[in-house]
């Protein structure tokens, strides 16, 4: 696992080229946004491959917490959003 609990991360601002069927499990509204790893969850088969019956490597998965007002321009200070995100979508902030 590349990131430990408490690590500051950013969701990659990535738009993969679509050469056939594609299933991107990371929400679009999180791309480019900073968050903090709440905890590692273990490694699981990559759902971006499983969705199409392709062989799927196991990829680390994390709970990442985001500041809600920064994402949606609503809510109060201290409101957060907790999202499961696979490691290949994260980079150091």
DSSP secondary structure letters along 9-54: EEE-------SS-----S-GGGTT-EEEEEEEEEEEE-HHHHTTT-
pLDDT of residue 21: 62
Please report, rounded to a whole number, the percentage of residues in the chain having pLDDT higher than 70. Answer: 92
pLDDT of residue 24: 79
Side-by-side strand order, sheet with 34-45: 80-86, 58-67, 34-45, 8-11, 90-92
CATH topology of domain 8-92: SH3 type barrels. (2.30.30)
Domains of the chain, residue spans:
8-92
pTM comes to 0.90
Mean per-residue pLDDT, 43-70: 94
pLDDT of residue 18: 61
Mean per-residue pLDDT, 38-46: 97
């Amino acid at each position: 696992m590349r990131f430990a609990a408490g690590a500051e991360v950013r969701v990659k601002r990535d738009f993969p080229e679509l050469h056939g069927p594609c299933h991107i499990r990371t929400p679009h509204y999180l791309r480019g946004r900073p968050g903090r790893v709440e905890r590692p969850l273990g490694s699981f088969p990559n759902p971006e491959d499983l969705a199409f019956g392709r062989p799927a490597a196991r990829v680390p998965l994390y709970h990442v917490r985001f500041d809600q007002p920064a994402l949606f321009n609503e809510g109060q200070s201290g409101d957060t959003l907790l999202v499961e995100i696979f490691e290949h979508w994260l980079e150091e902030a």
